[in-house]
């Protein structure tokens, strides 16, 4: 199933400049499964999104069709067909 991942500007060095990446996710399609596919293509992106246990980094937000995934089911959030995953660093720091 094809989904689209929107990459924030600060992470585009890890996607060769691409602002948007289409990934083909095996069923059952979840956010975590989409990130696994993305990791195969862009390992240096993955290490910035998830730690070595595949836990989502605390200050990176993942919106699935506009809804932050932590309000859904986190990495287990199911992806509808043609879902759009938007990755955005959260507001943090001083």
Partner 1 sequence: MTVVVAIGTRKGLWLARSEDRVTWEVDGPHHAMQEVYAVAFDTRSGLRLLAGVSSPHFGPGVSISDDLGASWEESSSPPITFPVEDAALERVWQLQPAPASQPGVVYAGTQPSALFKSTDGGRSFEFVEGLWNHPHRPEWEAGFGGQAVHTIVPDPADPDRVLVAMSTGGVYRTADGGKSWEARNKGIKAYFLPDPWPEFGQCVHKVAQHPALASRFYAQNHHGVYRSDDGGDSWQSIADGLPTDFGFAMVVHPHDPDTIFTFPIEADARRFPPEGKCRVYRSRDAGATWHPLGTGLPDNFWTAVMRDAMCTDNAPVPGVYFGSRSGEVYASPDEGETWHQVAAHLPDVMSVRAAVIPA
Instruction: Please pick, from the candidates 16, 22, 27, 52, the single residue that binds partner 1 as defined by CB under 8 A.
Output: 52
| 94, 16 contact by CB (below 8 A) | no
Q: How far is the CB of 85 from partner 1 (least distance, A)?
A: 17
* Element containing residue 88 per DSSP (H, E): strand 84-89
When asked if residue 28 is in the footprint of partner 1 (CB under 8 A), the reply is no
SS3 60: strand
Question: Of 20 and 55, which has the nearer Cβ to partner 1?
Answer: 55
Q: Is 85 exposed, middle or buried (CB count within 10 Å of its CB: 0-12, 13-18, 19+)?
A: buried
Q: How far is the CB of 60 from partner 1 (least distance, A)?
A: 6
Q: How far is the CB of 10 from partner 1 (least distance, A)?
A: 8
SS3 19: coil
Instruction: Please pick, from the candidates 24, 51, 67, 82, the single residue that binds partner 1 as defined by CB under 8 A.
Output: 51
């Amino acid at each position: 199933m094809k989904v689209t991942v929107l990459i924030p500007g600060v992470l585009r060095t890890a996607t060769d400049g691409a602002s948007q990446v289409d990934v083909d996710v095996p069923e059952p399609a979840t956010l975590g499964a989409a990130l696994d596919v993305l990791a195969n293509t862009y390992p240096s992106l993955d290490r910035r999104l998830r730690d070595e246990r595949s836990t989502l980094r605390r200050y990176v937000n993942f919106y699935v069709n506009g809804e932050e995934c932590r309000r859904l089911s986190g990495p287990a959030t199911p992806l509808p067909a043609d879902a759009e995953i938007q990755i955005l660093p959260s507001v943090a720091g001083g």
